[in-house]
Structure 1
Amino acid sequence: MTAVAAQHVGHDATGLRSVSISTRVIGCFASHEELGPTQVARELDIAKSTAHEMLVALATGGLLERAPRGRYRLSLQLFDYGQLVLDRLPIRRVARPELLALHRRVEETVQLGLPAGGRVVYVERFDCGSLPEEASVEWMRKVNGFASSSGRVLAAFDEDIAEATLALPRTRYTPRTITDTARLRQILAIARERGWVCTSEERAVGLTSMSAPVFAASGRVSAAVSIVGRTRALTGTRGEFMLRSLVVSAQRISGELAACGND
């Protein structure tokens, strides 16, 4: 290797290391509202000078913004990027008309959830406006899948998702939350047979949700459609009507994905 080539290799390695550190710095803000060089250096086990350089570079690039006392926080530019991700999700575009039709049919909150490493992130929602605040804040956030109908229906049809879901810590959100591994596996097996999942007051007292799977063109489960509402509104004859409507809508979205070859 020539001296010039070796120099290029060295520069490439240094550049890749800087990129790696930068992504880790951004990751630190997932659990901290504001951070300074000292905290970042301690979190990542890097030199304080390196942490300072990375923070300045990320702020210059618009991904962070300066806060008081020499600290930094995530910038709104990241929110803009997140919106672009949502807007460009093919499955969201395909599912949106059917989700809106289902929302109008059942007059309850309708959601589209995607798997995210044992969690669920809701990327589309048509809200009826009657849900309590604790349910509404889950919109566009990752939530543990084990206690949600969406998380369970995704896990029921994908073994990798199931194992990732069961590997996460399980919080007993209400007295009715099921956390036992054997019981959860039994619920997943029943869901595979039925083709849907219903959870009653496991995430929040007074709320029930029902979900059905959406399959990509390849046949793998790629999303979950769910209806969420007050328990009294999702039971009895009305609940049965909603469940039938839900399953039909999920099947229609799966058909649309297959027709356009979307995976």
Structure 2
Amino acid sequence: MTLADLEISADLRVIPPLEPVEREDGPLRSVSIAMAVLGCFEREAELGATRVAQELGVAKSTACRMLAALASGGMLERTTSGRYRLGLRLFEIGQLAVDRLMLRELALPVLGDLRDLLRETAQLAVPVGADVLYVDRLEGSGAGTMFHTELYRRGPGHSSSAAKVIAAHNPSMARLILERGFVRRTPFTIVDPNRYRQVLAQVRKDGFAASREEHTLGMSSIAAPVVLRRGDRTVAVAAISVVGSTSRVLGARKIAVVQSVRRAAATVSAALERSQE
């Protein structure tokens, strides 16, 4: 995966209708359908053959065969309900790709310094469709930081500070989030599209995003964008964020947290720019 792919990943969606694929023969057609089937699971955790067939415009028998083939290879797994979800083999391959990202290599020492400075959990997130994928997470020692155990995890685009700060500087991701709609996770989750647009506008002005208990009660976060220049545009390709208890992150030391996170993101952005020279 190249650095340019990080920008493109914000616009990943289900592969378009398969009219060109239907005219192909043999292995190429099978590979195209397999990729399209996997793409369906970007927006839904579990799917059955009927839904996949409808999404891709193929026969249900074709969808059944492809789902079964992907499950036999570990890319998907079948649930007790007879539907399918992403399998561990796909997760393992994804981890290998993540581990090889230049972005992660450049950001890791910066995350370590940020974690040590603030004693809060520091994270690196990249856009995946209308969500973010946390590709690195260093747990802090502050109270209330140990609230999850998974290193790699997708976060919803509308309720996390990392996603908001990327979407504010990445129109493709913002469009995907608005098209998918909003799910209320706590009483503080933004669910009004107009309000969300206003927040993104403010984030662009401020240079950082905050999420106050929008995803988990008692936990809040602050994020700043990792950006690259694309011609005359500056596009966010990732985000650095700090997450912890609301009182510690958004309390008396909020200004210090914001400054530290912005400085960390700027450091990684500069390193990325140098790597492109």
TM-score, normalising length: structure 2: 0.75
Q: Pick from 215, 225, 228 the counterpart of residue 240 of structure 2.
A: 225
Q: Distance in 1 between matches of 2:223 and 2:201?
A: 15
Matched, 1:107 2:119: yes
Q: What's the CA shift for 1:42?
A: 6.9
Matched, 1:128 2:143: no
**What is the aligned partner in structure 1 of residue 131 from structure 2?**
119
CA RMSD of aligned residues (A): 3.2
Q: 1:16–1:160: structure 2 CA closer, same or farther, 3 Å change rule? A: same
Q: Distance in 1 between matches of 2:79 and 2:196?
A: 44
Q: What's the CA shift for 1:63?
A: 4.0
What is the SS of the residue equivalent to 1:120? strand
**What is the aligned partner in structure 1 of residue 157 from structure 2?**
145
TM-score, normalising length: structure 1: 0.79
Q: Any conservation in 2 of the 1:217–1:261 contact (CA below 8 Å)?
A: no
Matched, 1:239 2:251: no
1:73-109 deviation line (CA, Å, top 9, x unaligned) = 7654323211111111111111111011111111001
Q: Pick from 192, 216, 220 the counterpart of residue 180 of structure 1.
A: 192
Q: What's the CA shift for 1:151?
A: 1.3
Q: What's the CA shift for 1:198?
A: 1.4
Worse overlay, 215-224 or 83-92: 215-224
Q: 1:161–1:59: structure 2 CA closer, same or farther, 3 Å change rule? A: closer
What is the SS of the residue equivalent to 1:252? helix
Q: Distance in 1 between matches of 2:93 and 2:195?
A: 40
What is the SS of the residue equivalent to 1:220? strand
Worse overlay, 249-258 or 154-163: 154-163
**What is the aligned partner in structure 2 of residue 6 from structure 1?**
none
Q: Distance in 2 between matches of 1:17 and 1:147?
A: 38
**What is the aligned partner in structure 1 of residue 49 from structure 2?**
40
**What is the aligned partner in structure 2 of residue 249 from structure 1?**
264
Letter in 2 for 1:22: A
Please identify the structure whose Cα radius of gyration is greater: 1
Q: 1:137–1:174: structure 2 CA closer, same or farther, 3 Å change rule? A: farther
Letter in 1 for 2:25: A
**What is the aligned partner in structure 2 of residue 192 from structure 1?**
204
Q: What's the CA shift for 1:160?
A: 2.2
Worse overlay, 121-130 or 82-91: 121-130
Q: Any conservation in 1 of the 2:49–2:60 contact (CA below 8 Å)?
A: no
What is the SS of the residue equivalent to 1:31? coil
Letter in 2 for 1:182: N
What is the SS of the residue equivalent to 1:226? strand
Q: What's the CA shift for 1:197?
A: 1.2
**Percent sequence identity over matched residues?**
39
Q: 1:11–1:27: structure 2 CA closer, same or farther, 3 Å change rule? A: closer
What is the SS of the residue equivalent to 1:185? helix
Gap runs ≥5 in structure 2: 1-21
Q: What's the CA shift for 1:251?
A: 0.7
Q: 1:71–1:142: structure 2 CA closer, same or farther, 3 Å change rule? A: closer
Gap runs ≥5 in structure 1: 1-9
Count of residues in Structure 1 that have an aligned counterpart in Structure 2: 245
Q: Distance in 1 between matches of 2:45 and 2:165?
A: 28
